[in-house]
Structure 1
Amino acid sequence: MSVIYSILSFVESALIARVAQYTIGTVLGLTMLAWIASRAGSAGEVIIHVTESNVQIDVAGYTFDIDDQLYDPIVLDLSSGSYELVLNRDDQVLYRETFEVRSGETCILTAYDPNRPDSNPSPSRIFFPGDLIEVDFANPLGSNP
């Protein structure tokens, strides 16, 4: 009886080991495929709005010199991954931001000097060209608080 029990015990442990081996291999394989799929495919688009003049923008190995106030955005097609945007003026870093680009998505960034009092990239008031229309987002209906 003990011989049969030891044979069944050996077969059962070998079966469990084999199932565990295949399960771990499958999980690792699927993880690797998911990682490869996230890195493959079309590039993502990055749009950078610069609110400063006389600065230099460094992103993804590209350098842009902004002499005068630039109103046209910088548009780049970058492969999926993590990047860093650096805004410099006279060898001084004014702004640094790390961002993630995903395949097929658009990432919109604003490069500004956070130490300048009037450089808030998301103002509560926006003036349209010609100052004909004013939208006050803090008080959109024009009523007094």
Structure 2
Amino acid sequence: MKKTILTFVATVFLTTAFSCSSDDNDAPVDPIIGKWNQESFTIDGVEQTLTDCDREFFYRFNAEGFEIFVSEFFNGQCRKDNDMGTWERDAENPLKYSGVILSDPDDPIAFELNQEGTVLSEISIRNFNGTGRLETLIFIYTKE
């Protein structure tokens, strides 16, 4: 009887231990994949106040590209729009990415993850109201 119980326990253990399989074809998921909500932004190092409308701005990255959901206060209204784009990882620095919004491919976007992969920064330089004065904008997003 003891032999039967031991054989049964050993069979159950071995079946359980070796029946769990891992799919070796699954590549690790890139840490940029997911939804990133806007938390803050600065213009030339000066912190800007986010409105409730601004807080609805987010990116959603997947393996094929990204969607951008723009939400900004403009002319007294919360204006919303969305677009799609592509992204790629910097070959030399795994925390840096570049992206292009499909409707404006001539204006690349630079993204950078923090070491933990929990904070995404978007850095852009723009011409201030067409004056020729350049300003640096840094948008901070956190992963949902």
TM range (shorter): under 0.3
Q: Which has the higher helix share?
A: 1
User: TM-score under structure 1 normalisation?
Assistant: 0.27
Q: Which has the larger radius of gyration?
A: 1
**What TM-score do you get using the length of structure 2 for normalisation?**
0.27
